[in-house]
Structure 1
């Protein structure tokens, strides 16, 4: 059960349009979130290293996703007062609980890649005049 600042009460059903869990699912279902959580699994990582680990992500998207994950309490940002300043990112306790479910999705995508690709090819070749 969640009580919002306006006093509304929700019971955690993402199938309801007004349920706040949908925002959480949007965050953890995002491809960049999945990859960033995986890249942070081993501990503290600097921004530039994250960008190398998550190939194809732009600096802007990495920044936006890290800020959103920090806001959601899934990532911790640590600024080390050095010259130059060193900033590192790590999963919080809540963020670490996401790793196993997201790892299962990663593994599923690897195992089923061939089947899904074959289905996509067959679908794309099929005559679609019926719909």
Structure 2
């Protein structure tokens, strides 16, 4: 999973994007490590991964955002294994975090809406 998350660091980026740094690469690790506990604490892992994505967005000047797969996995796990109140909490947290995170990159609504669509698909049975 770490390899998938860090594709922006492996594939050459556009000249206008910042170059990869060890700090920005290191901040992708908190996106992956919590996934080991997602079956035992799905909602906690979802919140941790979304928070780590926000930390990356605001603290690192890396080459774009890491790929969002780490958020999809715990979101699906919450939908599959959690109680209805936890599912609602996970959906609300995601419904706020995803548009804010993707909306900071662009004023175009297509990216936040397509991201929400992908998360909705990951959360459906």
Judge same fold: TM > 0.5, yes or no.
no
Q: Which has the higher helix share?
A: 2
TM-score, normalization by structure 2: 0.29
The structure that has the greater radius of gyration is: 1
TM-score, normalization by structure 1: 0.28
* More RCO (CA 8 Å, sep 6+): 2
